[in-house]
Structure 1
Amino acid sequence: MSSGILSIGASALNAAYTALRTTGNNIANVNTPGYSREVTSFSPQISTDNGGIYIGTGVAVDAISRVYSDFLGQQTNLAQASASQADSTAQLTGQINSMFSDTTTGLGAVIDKFFTQIQALSANPGSAATRQTTLSAAQEMAGQFNNYYAQLQSMSQSAQQQIGQEISSVNTTVGQIASLNSQISLAAASGQTPNTLLDQRNLDILTLNKSIGVTTSTQSNGAINVYLANGQPLLVGNQTFALTMGQDPANPQNVVVGTSVGGTIAALDPNNSGGGAIGALLQFQTQTIPNVENQIGQLALSLASQFNALQAQGMDQNGNVGSNLSPFFATPTIGVTAAPTNAGTLAASYGTVGTVQASNYQLSVLGGNYTLTRLSDGTTVASGALGGAGTNVQADGMTLNLSASTASGDTYTIAPQVQLGAANIGVALTQGSQIAAASPLQASVGPANQGSLAVGNLSLPANPSASLLQPVTLTFSNANTFTYTIGGGAPSAPQTYTPGTPISINGWSLTLTGAASASGGDVVSVTASGSSDNRNALAMAQLQGQSVLNGATLDSAYSTVVANVGALASTAQTDQTSKDAILQHATTAQSSVSGVNLDEEASNMLQFQQQYQAAAQLIMSANATFTSLITAINAA
């Protein structure tokens, strides 16, 4: 009898002791990352039959189990991947926003400074000092465009380095999970539940999601498999598949990330990467940076092309016009790579700069037709039949001229390089005297005119020749008829005058308004301007407020770039706040199930202490009973 009591007491003592150890372990790991609260589970031992009466034999310790919710764990992993991506995106876009927010020495400030100097030049075109200051302001502006591009490229290269670091971290963590898989499978085969190993594996999976979003599945032996968002495995059992990066074949400046399959990287889609820091870095490098480079590149190209067009129509301080003038700005050219077997040639130039896309193109000829494909999205942007004397193609802000010898099978790769607009813009002029501030020609009505003739618009060709400077005189014989002379030569045949209709002579076009005297004798003179003329400089100054880039002025175009960058950063910060809150909520929900509550553990500890003390007292009682029994037997 006493031995039965002693056995029951011993089992109770062991149960209380085990429960106290579990509680103590919980308390000890209250601040341990990834630790899941443990509980001891009990069951009654099999009762014995004592003459039809079943008497209990004590308690058995069944298991020490982790309190863990797979569902909440998965939710936390997803939230971690999203939050890490949002955190990285906010930090990365903040760098660009800081660069564009500089209103003192930033790009916007130097553009304003340049136009201020152009206005000063228009007010004093004969000043050598003003011309040199204007040239310096142009060089400063071009230098700041170059600097912005260099900073963006530096950010892109830094993103590549960070991707490499994150990949190294991912592969290390996957290796640790593979090792844990082996240990957990071995323990499971022995009928054990290795709580600490399971906690560590879950913590490693959470760490993995900080770098790249992953999903998992559990094998029957307790091992887990880990997959990327595109379904490619990183881990199957204890076999690892290394995450790697390589050059993007579509854009060698960028990298792709994925696992290698047959020597080829199964690249993650930057827009469907699963999250994590790598997801943010991929989007930043392949989308955010190129988009900003494209915007400032378009701005640089538009500004340069507009100034170069006016420069080509003007006259510099040395009296040079047309082909004798240097362009104001140097700009990138459209790159054309022809297949070696091509029969024809292709010349490419910028048309409407504001619509040029940041993509390469392929022009292919089949039969008597051409097709122009934008490679970034596979869109056919132009197609048609070849012309016998050559073919002109205009698409996406480019003008392409195919020679008459173009034949079926010819292919060309075309690179607009709009993203390099900010990188390659530079001042082509070397002296202030080379600025074509003057308009080559000026038109005036005779002081003795009797009619109401007035000079409207005088338009010049893109590259006027020196012969354009010859004086031209229009002499009206009546209200509707005039003749003209060039350089004092013989009069032309009679011409019909219609107010407001352009008059084209010697390469230029003049619009007159008003009426000539019916009695004749009115004259209009078109003569060469002096180098102190300022009309071309005035036209340059007016570019700041003219619609030159997709209907926007240069000022508003830059403001749009700044606003877009600011909105991008603001959206990223808002998303960061939201995703961090979701992660906090998921973590709290998981902790409410798996975390250690010290108040609860203190209560459990008191309960198990009392159980332990009671069990000890039961053993003492059994011992006393046994002693009394022995004493009674001895006395008999």
Structure 2
Amino acid sequence: MRSTFMGLETNKRGLFTQQTALYTTGHNISNANTLGYSRQRVNMQATPGFPRPGLNQPNYPGHLGTGVEAGSIQRIRDEFIDRQYRQETNRLGYWESTVKSISQMEDVMDEPSKYGINQAFTDFWKSMEDITKDPQLSAARQVLIANGRTLADSFNYMDQQLKKIQGNIGNEIKVTTDNVNSLLKQIAQINKQIEMVEPSGYVPNDLYDVRDVLVDELNKQLPVSILREKTGGLAKDVAEGTMTITYVPTDGSAPITLVKGKEYAALAVMDRNGLRVDGEEDDPATGSFAEFQEFRVSAIGDPPADPTTGSFTINYAQLHKEGGGLRALIEAYGHDTGQGLYPEMLANLDTLANEFITTFNTIHRAGFGLNDTLGNRDFFSGTTARDFRVVITDPEDVAVSDTAGESGNNKNMLELAALQSKANAILGQATFQNYYRGITGNLAVRGKEADTNVKNSQALHLQIANNRASMSSVHLDEEMTNMITFQQAYNANARMITVVDETLDRIINGMGRVGL
């Protein structure tokens, strides 16, 4: 037989459940502008009917409802959209970093320009043409020396500035890696908190949100795979469990665990000398940097791939194409031996400088100055853009003539001037200036390609972000509607309790008083 007070209990449950829904709505409204917050809903479910099955139970035409309860409070997320968002975030991180690196290089090279290497070459050739018109004019020779120094200084400046940016990128790699390690640590700490909460039957939605924000940020730098693992105990079905994060190398090697439960790995970016990449020069004499060799990942859980270092390694070939900001930084900084945006540009400048110095000096040594009987003088010194120098100081030593003692002879200078239009085999049959224009032109093409890709990625990323927001973000109009709905349900349950109370009052105070 059902309890006399069954109606009170039924509507008390309804009252409490609607109150929980109101509180959850209030929590949603309060966090409408919180980064990464996912709106939450109360999953209401009917409580078991009365009576329970049994031969000794009274006969009823059907189960009597006993009310409602809050089965769980669940955040609204779409795992598929989350995966899409993180994949595009990773791609966007790659192209944004690439655009930044190329833009910094373009700012330094700045072609066409009145003060760049191309203009310095033009001024240098013109100086030689002026000398051929009047070989004995000392002022023209002095201008040639001055323009030669400008050309050398242009190469020196370009080398210095590009290496300075390369060092800054190396430092940015260090900072980014430290940030990745911090993210891994924070995710592991949240996993630990979740492990303590879920087995007691609670669903820590706010912790899930904080963890997802960290994973989003991590994916911008490094593409990772995610696996959720149940915590056991009394964990509810909607509980998401701890998060295991792995990196899957592109060559089919076993996944490398970065976070598992409350444990986390530490990443270090190593150069070819076995030292951490930090933006410090490898060789102060040349100002060069040792290129990226590998990631070194401290092992957790699984046995390490390298028993000597106790860590796994990830080389450049195992990195994902368009795989986040770190990959883009490494491509710019340099990897393996001389590969990468900045090492290749610096090598091209060194090739151009060395070939120009060698070719020009070869012809200049065969000529003679104004009062020169010996010849065999170099005009330039050096073998790279960094040590490119003019060694001639006396205008009379400029080898204009191809014959000793003929001050009006300009044949050697004509041969030097002809280098302006002469194809060079080492430079791919290009002239000196055309070779330089070629490498700056290729840079411009790469810059345009990167800019196009970043715009495309931004558009797609925005579209996915909007889809994600429409699913998970708080919409105040919807929450206000829910608030009114739950408020009305709460009032109705309160009114029902009043009705039940009135019926009980009739039974308690109005029955058995006949004639009184």
Contact 2:372 2:397 in 1 (8 A): no
Contact 2:24 2:42 in 1 (8 A): yes
Query: Whole-Å Cα distance in 2 between the matches of residues 107 and 572 of structure 1?
Result: 25
Query: Whole-Å Cα distance in 2 between the matches of residues 152 and 620 of structure 1?
Result: 81
What's 1:352 paired with?
A: none
What's 1:296 paired with?
A: 349
Query: Whole-Å Cα distance in 2 between the matches of residues 254 and 201 of structure 1?
Result: 34
What's 1:64 paired with?
A: 73
2:319 corresponds to which letter in structure 1? N
1:614 corresponds to which letter in structure 2? A
1:43, CA displacement in angstroms? Answer: 1.5
For residues 126-525 of structure 1, the aligned pairs below 5 Å read 126-221=136-231, 222-230=241-249, 231-249=255-273, 253-260=290-297, 261=306, 262-263=308-309, 266-269=313-316, 272-273=319-320, 275-286=323-334, 287-321=340-374, 324-332=375-383, 421-440=384-403
Query: Whole-Å Cα distance in 2 between the matches of residues 138 and 227 of structure 1?
Result: 56
1:246, CA displacement in angstroms? Answer: 2.4
What's the TM-score, normalizing by structure 2? 0.84
1:235 corresponds to which letter in structure 2? V
SS in 1 for 2:406: coil
Query: Whole-Å Cα distance in 2 between the matches of residues 573 and 37 of structure 1?
Result: 35
Moved over 4 A (4+): none
Superposed CA offset, 1:542-573 (max 9, x none): 21112123111222212112211111111111
Superposed CA offset, 1:156-200 (max 9, x none): 100011011111111111111111111112222223221111111
1:241 corresponds to which letter in structure 2? A
Superposed CA offset, 1:566-610 (max 9, x none): 111111111111111222122222222222222222221111111
1:150 corresponds to which letter in structure 2? Q
What's the TM-score, normalizing by structure 1? 0.69
What's 1:572 paired with?
A: 450
Query: Whole-Å Cα distance in 2 between the matches of residues 265 and 431 of structure 1?
Result: 61
1:57 corresponds to which letter in structure 2? T
SS in 1 for 2:73: strand
SS in 1 for 2:291: strand
SS in 1 for 2:269: strand
Contact 1:41 1:64 in 2 (8 A): yes
Question: Would you tell me which structure has more strand in proportion to its own residues?
Answer: 1
What is the number of residues matched between the two proteins?
459
Query: Whole-Å Cα distance in 1 between the matches of residues 326 and 294 of structure 2?
Result: 9
Query: Whole-Å Cα distance in 2 between the matches of residues 271 and 96 of structure 1?
Result: 27
Contact 2:271 2:294 in 1 (8 A): no
Q: Judging changes above 3 Å, is the alpha-carbon distance between structure 1 residues 557 and 200 closer, same or farther for their aligned structure 2 residues? A: same
1:209, CA displacement in angstroms? Answer: 1.6
Question: Would you tell me which structure has more helix in proportion to its own residues?
Answer: 2
Query: Whole-Å Cα distance in 2 between the matches of residues 248 and 237 of structure 1?
Result: 33
Contact 1:170 1:208 in 2 (8 A): yes
1:284, CA displacement in angstroms? Answer: 0.4
Runs of at least 5 residues in structure 2 that lack an aligned partner in the other structure? 52-57, 232-240, 250-254, 275-281, 283-288, 298-305, 335-339
1:15, CA displacement in angstroms? Answer: 1.4
What's 1:536 paired with?
A: 412
2:393 corresponds to which letter in structure 1? T
2:438 corresponds to which letter in structure 1? T
CA RMSD of aligned residues (A): 2.1
Q: Judging changes above 3 Å, is the alpha-carbon distance between structure 1 residues 249 and 219 closer, same or farther for their aligned structure 2 residues? A: same
Query: Whole-Å Cα distance in 2 between the matches of residues 82 and 173 of structure 1?
Result: 19
Query: Whole-Å Cα distance in 2 between the matches of residues 270 and 144 of structure 1?
Result: 36
What's 2:88 paired with?
A: 79
2:271 corresponds to which letter in structure 1? Q
What's 1:562 paired with?
A: 440
Query: Whole-Å Cα distance in 2 between the matches of residues 156 and 616 of structure 1?
Result: 70
SS in 2 for 1:189: helix
Query: Whole-Å Cα distance in 1 between the matches of residues 127 and 397 of structure 2?
Result: 15
1:567 corresponds to which letter in structure 2? V
Contact 1:120 1:130 in 2 (8 A): yes
Tell me which structure has the larger Cα radius of gyration: 1
Contact 1:246 1:265 in 2 (8 A): no
Query: Whole-Å Cα distance in 1 between the matches of residues 87 and 72 of structure 2?
Result: 31
2:391 corresponds to which letter in structure 1? A
Q: Judging changes above 3 Å, is the alpha-carbon distance between structure 1 residues 624 and 320 closer, same or farther for their aligned structure 2 residues? A: farther
Runs of at least 5 residues in structure 1 that lack an aligned partner in the other structure? 333-420, 441-527
What's 1:9 paired with?
A: 11
1:218, CA displacement in angstroms? Answer: 2.3
